[in-house]
Amino acid sequence: MAEELIPVYRPDLSGNERAYVLECLDTSWISSIGVFIERFERAIAEVTGVRHAVAVCNGTVALHLALHCLDVGPGDEVIVPTFTYIASVNTIAQTGACPVFADSLPGDWMLDPDDVARRITPRTKAILPVHLYGAACDMHVLQALADRHEIALLEDCAEALGTTISGRHVGRWSRAATFSFFGNKTVTTGEGGMVITDDDALAQRLRQVKGQGQSFTRRYWHEVLGFNYRMNNIAAAIGTAQMERIAPILARKREIMAQYAAQLAALPVEFQRPRAEVNSSGWLVSLLVPEGVDRDQVMQHMAGVGVETRPVFFCAHHMPMYASSERFPVAENIATRGISLPSYPTLSEHDINRVTDALAAALQDQGR
């Protein structure tokens, strides 16, 4: 009998998630007002070490809200990696600003600071580094670069909750940073997002704008252009329960990352390699297949034996709405060769063995 499919991700909902959701239902607090909103925001603020965490309905609107409240708009340029999830780019365009693509680094696949420096112009309003797959960008260099040119820095931490740089949580290097709590994230609310900041005035503006720009003191009086980006109490209840177990979840994910590295050490694959100062959350264990290997055939082979994988992101400059003939050789190489392996915290030792055996067989099938 065929074994059960091993998905790329499966959320661990074994804590208080059910009890807290039922509390929302029993008390009828199911919309964007309720005790769990504040509890979840406080939990994220404590883990990341910031003064303010502002909950929103997903990670994409977190980015858009932050860009809008940093006054990014028409005529501005925002530098962003071309190798990223498309939301990082779309939200820039949604403000009316122009995304300016930059290449990645070959080791950790993060935004290349030298390429960023080359692309700064008088129109550059912000730099948007994206921490991918649990790794982190070189924020020491990027922060210095942004300060030198007096431009904003906004970190996209959607995939990096729990990741630190020199002991400091990602998101602490910029005026604002954003997180996603989609169903496949380290901490999930089903759909959800967060903007964090240490800037009191910015936090106040974020809270007002996410709620249709309504006055804090006068109901239905709307003082500024706003959006309906609020998180609901049920989602926050799930997130609150998840945050109660974030330490063991992160510990298990790092164990899984280490086990993959050990078991696949003899294969001709290249793992994403975070810099020494980065303690990765291990969100999705990702690697490059050898040059000349058909990545899609490897994935199909693994799917045939019940192991789901997924490709890494395609480059944004290859998308129809952002199509460009400019070359970004490192990013393009990663996008062509990269795959992500099952990485959820309840993955068993047997499952890990199945994944590694399937990858080894798939590469052997192609003569590697």
Count of the separate structural domains present in the chain: 2
* Banded model confidence at residue 368, pLDDT cuts 50, 70, 90: confident
The string of DSSP letters for 253-288 reads HHHHHHHHHHHTTTSS-EE----TTEE---SS-EEE
CB distance 94 to 256 below 8 Å: no
Mean pLDDT, to the nearest integer, of 240-261? Answer: 98
Question: Is 91 within a domain?
Answer: yes
Question: Is 203 within a domain?
Answer: yes
Mean pLDDT, to the nearest integer, of 114-129? Answer: 98
Do residues 295 and 250 both lie within one domain?
yes
Q: Which of 125, 185, 210, 253 is catalytic?
A: 185
CB distance 56 to 231 below 8 Å: yes
Place of tokens 């395609």: 314
Mean pLDDT, to the nearest integer, of 100-127? Answer: 98
Do residues 209 and 281 both lie within one domain?
no
How high is the pLDDT of residue 2? 67
How high is the pLDDT of residue 190? 97
| Percent with pLDDT over 70 in the chain | 99
End position of a domain, from candidates 243, 264, 283? 243
How high is the pLDDT of residue 367? 79
Enter the tokens of residue 147. 């300060």
> The domain that contains 347 carries what CATH number?
3.90.1150.10
Active site residue 253: no
pLDDT in tens, 160-218: 999 999 999 999 999 999 999 999 999 999 999 999 999 999 999 999 999 999 999 99
Do residues 58 and 205 both lie within one domain?
yes
Enter the tokens of residue 217. 């003191």
pLDDT in tens, 320-343: 999 999 999 999 999 999 999 999
Nearest Cα residue to 280 out of 63, 127, 107, 56: 107
Average pLDDT, whole number, for the chain?
97
Do residues 226 and 103 both lie within one domain?
yes
How high is the pLDDT of residue 23? 98
End position of a domain, from candidates 211, 228, 243? 243
Range of the domain at 252: 246-365
How high is the pLDDT of residue 258? 98
CA 104/CA 130 separation, integer angstroms? 10
Do residues 224 and 193 both lie within one domain?
yes
Do residues 165 and 42 both lie within one domain?
yes
CA 228/CA 275 separation, integer angstroms? 38
How high is the pLDDT of residue 140? 98
> The domain that contains 69 carries what CATH number?
3.40.640.10
Question: Is 12 within a domain?
Answer: no
End position of a domain, from candidates 243, 258, 282? 243
The string of DSSP letters for 27-77 reads HT--SS-SHHHHHHHHHHHHHHT-SEEEEES-HHHHHHHHHHHTT--TT-E
Do residues 114 and 29 both lie within one domain?
yes
CA pseudo-torsion sign 75, 77, 83, 89: negative
Question: Is 182 within a domain?
Answer: yes
Do residues 36 and 150 both lie within one domain?
yes
Enter the tokens of residue 311. 């490709």
